[in-house]
Amino acid sequence: MNTGEPRPDNRSAGTCSDVVGRREAAWLAPYAFFSSGSGGRRHPEPCHPYRGPFQRDRDRIVHSAAFRRLSGKMQVFTGDMGDYHRTRLTHTMEVASIARTMGRYFRLNEDLIEALALLHDLGHPPFGHAGEAALDAGLRDEGGFSHNQFALTLVEELEQRYQPWPGLNLSHEVLSGQLARTRKAAGDVPLLEVQVVDLADSATYNAHDVDDALQLELVTLDDLAQLPLVQRALDRDNTRSLPLTSQRPAVVHALIDLQVTSVLERCGPALLEAGWTSHEQPAAAGFRLELAEDLQREKGELEAFLYRRVYRHDKLLRVREKAQEQIRTMLDWYGASASRLPEPFRARAERVGARRSAADYLACMTDRSCRQAFAARQSAVAPRTTPERR
């Protein structure tokens, strides 16, 4: 496991070519994270002639099996509820896009931002937070399960490339940025690049969950219009005068734009005025990228509404119960004996225990493969019916 501690000894292996260094010197703000300052990789590798270290990290994540599996993992709504709504993959792409918009405005390191954004939900098990809660409860006596932590397990241990070491051998800053997601309560102030991804994540899911819930008719625009943040969105660009079919995308667009613009307007001047000359200074000063206070409050009200009316909607609760029962059953069965696990999880069980390795195996599954594995398990244990004698 990566500890998050710097590994300056790896710098000798070279982290950044001259061409990347010149590009970043010409564009990045002085408070951005420069690739030349990277703590390097656990296993030293020579620098690439034209790709920076975080660009390589981004590419490694995109080419990983875990990233491809995100297309089969639900965000909030399962695949059998329709074809319109977000998957974990499309959510991730939206987060990366919005985070890069903010990062470019602040002249931060976009490659680092993109790598962090594409990694941030890589560790989600099947069935979103329902699956995570079932695994966490099932591993209560063994340290629990967190999708943020599991993303690190994937990229440090389970993914296998052509090199002799396990994992993707990502840069220190990408790993420690993901690690910061697991330690939010600790009060550490992460790099601005990490903060941008965090803000983009919540701006994105607020907006797209509104969109998906409206499209699935779990809520109406009239319901949402009671919320001050949605009222603001409706008041922009004559949205109320648009045909009803155009109001929904206009509101979703405005929700994202309001949140992003608020962060840029609140924090852009502060970053300029501070005159910081290194990435350490904003962190040392406790500087946080934030929305304006009134918008933050209104965003909280929208999130409470979504929790009450969407995430706890009867349709989703039924999906949640079914998914959790499937995961509980399979965790108990696979966790009872490592011999039931496929490789490499059988061998992994010798190091981490059968139950943890079973949870890792299940967490790698897509929603569909989890359902199929459960159905296969059920048919294996179902009592054989005796054919009727004629």
Q: Give whichever of 121 and 159 is closer to Mg ion, judged by the CB atom.
A: 121
Q: Give whichever of 66 and 373 is closer to Mg ion, judged by the CB atom.
A: 66
Burial class (CB in 10 A: 0-12, 13-18, 19+), 309: middle
Number of residues engaging Mg ion in binding (CB under 5 A): 2
Q: Minimum distance from CB of 334 to Mg ion (Å)?
A: 27
Q: Give whichever of 56 and 147 is closer to Mg ion, judged by the CB atom.
A: 147
Tokens 């292996």, residue located: 13
Q: Minimum distance from CB of 87 to Mg ion (Å)?
A: 12
Using CB under 5 A as the binding rule, the residues of this chain from 23 to 82 that contact Mg ion are none
Using alpha carbons, list the distances in angstroms from residue 261 to 102, 208, 279, 281.
9, 17, 23, 24
3-state secondary structure of 220: coil
94 part of the interface to Mg ion, by CB under 5 A: no
121 part of the interface to Mg ion, by CB under 5 A: yes
Give 3-state DSSP helix, strand, coil % of the chain, rounded to 5: 70, 0, 30
Q: Give whichever of 24 and 201 is closer to Mg ion, judged by the CB atom.
A: 201
* Torsion-angle region of 52 (φ positive above 0: left; ψ -120 to 50: alpha; else: beta): beta
Backbone angles phi, psi at 265, to 5 degrees: -70, -35
367 part of the interface to Mg ion, by CB under 5 A: no
Binding residue (CB under 5 A) for Mg ion from 110, 114, 201, 209? 201
Q: Give whichever of 2 and 202 is closer to Mg ion, judged by the CB atom.
A: 202
DSSP 276-322: --STHHHHHTT------HHHHHHHHHHHHHHIIIIIT-HHHHHHHHH
Q: Minimum distance from CB of 143 to Mg ion (Å)?
A: 23
DSSP 8-state secondary structure symbol assigned to residue 382: S
Q: Give whichever of 126 and 282 is closer to Mg ion, judged by the CB atom.
A: 126
Q: Minimum distance from CB of 317 to Mg ion (Å)?
A: 21
Region binding Mg ion by CB under 5 A among candidate stretches 144-152, 198-206, 322-330, 342-350: 198-206
Q: Distance from CA of residue 51 to its chain's centroid?
A: 24
Site of interaction with Mg ion (CB under 5 A): 121, 201
